Amino acid sequence: MNEAICFLNKNTEIQTVVYWMNKPSEYRTIVEILNNIYIDDFTIIGEFDQKFGNEIVKKCEAEIKKYNEEYCSKIVYENQNEFKGKNQKWALYTTNIMPKELMAALTWQPNYLFAEVLEGYTGAFNTWEMFKENTSTIMIKTIRKNKEPKMLVWNRKEESQIELSVVFPMYNVAAYLDECIKSVTTWKAPYVEFLFVNDGSPDNSRDIVLEWGKKDSRIKLLDKANGGCASAREFGLEKAKGQYVGFVDPDDFVDESMFRKLLRAAMIGSYDVSYCGYNEFYENTKTTKRVKDALGWPYCDGTTDQRKIWDLIMHCRVAIWRGIYKKSFLEKNKIHFYTDLRRFDDLPFKIEVFAAAKSVIAIDEYLYYYRLSRPGQDVAADDERLYVHFDIFDHLDKSIVTQKNQILNDCLQVSKVQTHLYAMNKIKAEFVKTYKERAKKDLNRIKNKKETCELVAKYIGKENAEVYKKII
């Protein structure tokens, strides 16, 4: 693992490297490691007897000196059944091992762990969970049959042990809070925090959160003056301590496994975005419907293909609460919520995320439940409130169009068409004329009508292009 070798060379406080040998043929791996690191003390452990272990040491030394005459590291062998760990700063290094076998090293409490495991996501993530309490740096390379390996790279942050922050913008949702909180807190991981942002809510939502907080210290209440959903989400994002951050609307609920699965997928490969499928839950009938979109290949195995990621701007439905996002990625790309938007603030967030993301993975499961048919929802708006789309695209024109990337601009144009078609089919008759005029102006900023029709036909179908021509 080149990553581990680089780390060892950069961190001179590491005094000893212990290599856990499972097969005699691995002496070649040891030789490669020692030819690329500078360490005074190198210990080999294994199940072989001392005599055979000493022979391996001599063989390694002989091979190394063929290429490095000045090699002076001390190499020793110890039987792993007698090995008790080291007193100084030390790193455990092993290859081709099953996660369940690696559990034996927990009692040794290595300061650093570099492992190559022969199992899928579950094994690697479970290994991280087991070692994270006493190990400051963990690198796990997951070897997968007929697939590219993946890397879990984790460094303890001294200021925080939180890996995931989940933000809940809260306003007049008391009727649904208990169900929502129960669904997220069933997962008992200590490395997650739940941030409930009270956006000046006049009902008893605040009291409900405080009661739950008495039973679960991971629940935190944040108070602020009313400013709308975008301002509440932005406030929570600023306070979040996790390396990843997610969002839940507190009138919705989730499958209890959702955030564990999202975090597991994100960490195995260090993805910028990890997302899943979602269900529409109809409050009036208590029925659910799966919302199917881009969950399959290549997204289910993770992708770094920029074009594939940009396709999600057009083909992945607006829903920021179906995923988690690496916080450092959001900060680096200055992605945030526009607090001047009083509704539909998830649309610009989604587009900017997928426009900037370098890696994305999907969980091919439907784990979020989006509540519909309840009183007071913005999604039911059919009046001048839909004019907010033009404010949204003003923001996006500044952040994306100015990048002068043709493919990305095409994605944005198609997304505009989809949004405006949705609004035109929904808005009341007295607002149609004004909306249509503003939509034409918005779309003509980038392309003319003919160019836009061709784009729509190419990406979302000829039938949508015909609808676009009739309406716009």
**pLDDT value of position 70:** 66
pLDDT of residue 206 exceeding 60, the answer is yes
List, for residues 2-19, the tens digit of each pLDDT value.
889 999 999 989 999 999
**pLDDT value of position 244:** 98
Mean pLDDT, range 443-456, rounded to an integer: 87
At which of 377, 398, 418 does a domain end? 377
Of all residues in the chain, the percent with pLDDT exceeding 90 is 70
- DSSP secondary structure, 356-425, as one string: H-S-EEEEEEEEEEEEES-TT-GGG--SGGGGHHHHHHHHHHHHTGGG--HHHHHHHHHHHHHHHHHHHH
Q: What is each CA distance from 158 to 132, 133, 137, 162, 241, in whole angstroms?
A: 12, 12, 12, 10, 11
Rounded CA-CA distance 453/303 in Å is: 29
What is the extent of the structural domain holding 433?
381-471
At which of 130, 155, 180 does a domain end? 155
Domain count, the chain: 3
Least confident window among 171-175, 299-303, 410-414 = 410-414
- DSSP secondary structure, 19-79, as one string: EE-SSGGGHHHHHHHHTT---SEEEEEESS-HHHHHHHHHHHHHHHHHH-TT---EEEEEE
At which of 155, 174, 208 does a domain end? 155
Mean pLDDT, range 276-296, rounded to an integer: 94
How many other β-carbons are positioned within 10 Å of the β-carbon of residue 392?
22
Under the banding of pLDDT at 50, 70 and 90, the label for residue 72 is low
Same-domain pairing of 100 and 118: yes
Same-domain pairing of 8 and 76: yes
List, for residues 248-260, the tens digit of each pLDDT value.
999 999 999 999 9
Secondary structure percentages of the chain, helix, strand, coil, to 5 = 45, 20, 30
Mean pLDDT, range 49-54, rounded to an integer: 95
Same-domain pairing of 365 and 385: no
Under the banding of pLDDT at 50, 70 and 90, the label for residue 403 is confident
DSSP β-ladder status, 323-326 and 244-247: antiparallel
Q: What is each CA distance from 428 to 76, 361, 393, 416, in whole angstroms?
A: 80, 39, 21, 20
Same-domain pairing of 89 and 228: no
Handedness of CA 323, 329, 331, 332 (dihedral sign): negative
pLDDT of residue 178 exceeding 70, the answer is yes
Same-domain pairing of 343 and 446: no
DSSP β-ladder status, 16-20 and 41-46: parallel
Same-domain pairing of 144 and 200: no
**pLDDT value of position 373:** 75
**pLDDT value of position 377:** 57
Please check whether residue 233 is in contact with residue 337, taking contact to mean a CB–CB distance below 8 angstroms.
yes
Between 265 and 459, name the one with better pLDDT.
265
Neighbour-count burial of 410, counting CB atoms closer than 10 A to its CB (0-12 exposed, 13-18 middle, 19+ buried): buried
Same-domain pairing of 390 and 354: no
**pLDDT value of position 123:** 85
Rounded CA-CA distance 347/394 in Å is: 12
Structure token digits, residue 23: 């097969």
Same-domain pairing of 393 and 371: no
pLDDT of residue 375 exceeding 80, the answer is no
pLDDT of residue 401 exceeding 80, the answer is no
Q: What is the CATH number of the domain that holds 325?
A: 3.90.550.10
Q: For residue 135, report the phi and psi dihedrals to the nearest 5 degrees.
A: -115, 130
Least confident window among 153-167, 281-295, 442-456 = 442-456
Is the entire prediction scored with pTM above 0.85?
yes
**pLDDT value of position 380:** 63
Same-domain pairing of 227 and 348: yes
Mean pLDDT, range 37-64, rounded to an integer: 92
Under the banding of pLDDT at 50, 70 and 90, the label for residue 466 is confident
Q: What is each CA distance from 183 to 170, 294, 342, 349, in whole angstroms?
A: 16, 25, 27, 25
Under the banding of pLDDT at 50, 70 and 90, the label for residue 298 is very high
Structure token digits, residue 217: 């210290």
Of all residues in the chain, the percent with pLDDT exceeding 70 is 97
**In terms of Cα–Cα distance, which of 389, 316, 384, 327 is closest to 355?**
316
**pLDDT value of position 378:** 57
Same-domain pairing of 363 and 396: no
Mean pLDDT, range 409-429, rounded to an integer: 91
Q: 147 Cβ partners below 8 Å, 6+ apart?
A: 301
Same-domain pairing of 11 and 140: yes
List, for residues 112-157, the tens digit of each pLDDT value.
999 999 876 668 999 999 999 999 999 999 988 888 899 999 999 8
**pLDDT value of position 219:** 98
Mean pLDDT, the chain, rounded, equals: 92
Q: What is the CATH number of the domain that holds 22?
A: 3.40.50.720
pLDDT of residue 63 exceeding 90, the answer is no
**pLDDT value of position 120:** 62
pLDDT of residue 92 exceeding 90, the answer is yes
Structure token digits, residue 249: 């609307």
Same-domain pairing of 359 and 216: yes
